[in-house]
Amino acid sequence: MLALITPTRGRPVALNLCRHYVHRMAERCPEPITWIVVEGEEREAGGMKAHFGSIPLSQGRALETVHIRVPSKGIYGHQSLACNVQTGLREARELGLRFVAVIEDDDWYAPDYASWVLRALADYPLVGEGRSLYYNVHSGCWRLCQNMGHASLCSTAWDDTALPNVVDQAINRCLNNEGFLDLLIWGHRGGWVAPPAPRRVVGLKGLPGIKGIGVGHQSGNLPCADADGSFLRVIIGEDSEVYRKFRGHNAFAEWEQR
Domain ranges of the chain: 2-256
Report, as an integer, the average pLDDT of 130-154. Answer: 95
pLDDT of residue 189: 81
Candidates 31, 47, 180, 24; CA nearest to 112 is 24
Percent residues over pLDDT 70 in the chain? 93
Candidates 111, 87, 107; CA nearest to 3 is 87
The half-sphere exposure of 90 on its side-chain side, counting CA atoms within 13 A, is 12
Candidates 138, 127, 105, 100; CA nearest to 196 is 127
Candidates 116, 102, 113; CA nearest to 35 is 102
Contact 31, 42 (CB under 8 A): no
In the DSSP assignment, the letter for residue 151 is -
Report, as an integer, the average pLDDT of 86-106. Answer: 97
Q: Confidence band (pLDDT; 50, 70, 90) for 48?
A: confident
Q: Confidence band (pLDDT; 50, 70, 90) for 41?
A: confident
Is residue 253 scored above 50 in pLDDT?
A: no
C-beta neighbour count of 253 within 10 angstroms: 8
- Displacement of CA 24 from its chain's centroid (Å): 15
Which contiguous run of DSSP H or E holds residue 66?
strand 62-71
| pLDDT tens, residue by residue, 220-233 | 678 999 999 999 99
What residues contact residue 145 under an 8 Å CB cut-off, 6+ apart? Answer: 131, 132, 133, 134
pLDDT of residue 252: 46
Contact 226, 141 (CB under 8 A): yes
Q: Report the DSSP beta bridge partners of residue 69.
A: 39, 49
What residues contact residue 250 under an 8 Å CB cut-off, 6+ apart? Answer: 138
The lowest-confidence range among 93-102, 169-178, 209-218 is: 209-218
pLDDT of residue 177: 93
pLDDT of residue 215: 59
The half-sphere exposure of 224 on its side-chain side, counting CA atoms within 13 A, is 12
175 vs 168: CA distance, rounded Å: 11
pLDDT of residue 254: 43
pTM: 0.94
Is residue 17 scored above 80 in pLDDT?
A: yes
Q: Confidence band (pLDDT; 50, 70, 90) for 219?
A: low
CA distances from 101 to 45, 176, 182 (A): 29, 23, 12
55 vs 61: CA distance, rounded Å: 9
Collapsed DSSP state (helix, strand, coil) of residue 20: helix
Is residue 165 scored above 70 in pLDDT?
A: yes
CA distances from 86 to 13, 48, 73, 83, 182 (A): 23, 13, 17, 5, 13
Contact 245, 44 (CB under 8 A): no
C-beta neighbour count of 12 within 10 angstroms: 13
- The CATH architecture that domain 2-256 belongs to is Alpha-Beta Complex (3.90)
